[in-house]
């Protein structure tokens, strides 16, 4: 299956799994303040963890790979609260590297604050799931208007909460 991935960066892909409206904001380049406390916390986790490893490799200006560790593509998250979204985001990175760069690599999720890790392999089933997801995302993201806000636990920590709920 041939899919145009040039519209889909890692931030948008991850956000879509948590809230399609947030992803729409990112897709349309409406970025929250860089000073939002949860973004700052995320940056701190990134800066304070694995400082000796090779960090943050940009691929085609779309994927920001946190680091390579022991030949694994690693994604660092500040908590495992949205583990499924993180797993899909990392799977998307592996999918992109395979299909756009010819690199078949396994991945690992790192939750340094919780001292947890999880391996992610790009199985045929996971590839199929990604392709279905990507084809569903495109019309939502390209729509003229964002999806309506849906209250969730994530809103409390979302940097767009003032836009949605004030």
Residue number with CB closer to ligand SF4 (49 or 157): 157
Residue 30 binds to ligand SF4 (criterion: CB under 6 A): no
Task: Please pick, from the candidates 5, 39, 59, 164, the single residue that binds ligand SF4 as defined by CB under 6 A.
Answer: 164
Site residues (CB under 6 A) for ligand SF4, limited to 144-163: 149-150, 152, 154-155, 158, 160-161
Task: Please pick, from the candidates 8, 16, 22, 85, the single residue that binds ligand SF4 as defined by CB under 6 A.
Answer: 22
Token duo for residue 118: 């999880």
- Indicate the pairing of strand 107-111 with strand 116-120: antiparallel
d(CA 103, CA 94): 8
Please spell the DSSP secondary structure of 117-153, one letter per residue. Answer: EEEE---HHHHHHHHHHHHHHHHHHHSSSPPPP---G
**Residues lying near ligand SF4 in the complex (CB under 6 A):** 19, 21-22, 149-150, 152, 154-155, 158, 160-161, 164
């Amino acid at each position: 299956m041939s899919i145009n991935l040039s519209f889909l960066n890692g931030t948008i892909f991850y956000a879509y799994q948590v809230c399609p409206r947030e992803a729409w904001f990112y897709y349309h380049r409406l970025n929250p303040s860089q000073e939002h406390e949860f973004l700052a916390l995320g940056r701190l986790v990134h800066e304070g963890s694995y400082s000796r490893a090779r960090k943050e490799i940009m691929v085609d200006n779309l994927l920001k790979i946190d680091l390579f560790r022991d030949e694994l593509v690693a994604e660092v998250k500040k908590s495992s609260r949205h583990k499924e979204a993180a797993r899909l985001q990392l799977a998307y990175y592996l999918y992109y590297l395979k299909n756009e760069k010819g690199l078949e690599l396994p991945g690992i999720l790192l939750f340094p604050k919780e001292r947890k890790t999880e391996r992610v392999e790009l199985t045929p089933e996971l590839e199929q799931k990604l392709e279905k997801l990507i084809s569903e995302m495109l019309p939502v993201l390209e729509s003229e208007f964002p999806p309506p806000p849906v209250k969730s636990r994530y809103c409390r920590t979302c940097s767009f909460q003032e836009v949605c709920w004030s």
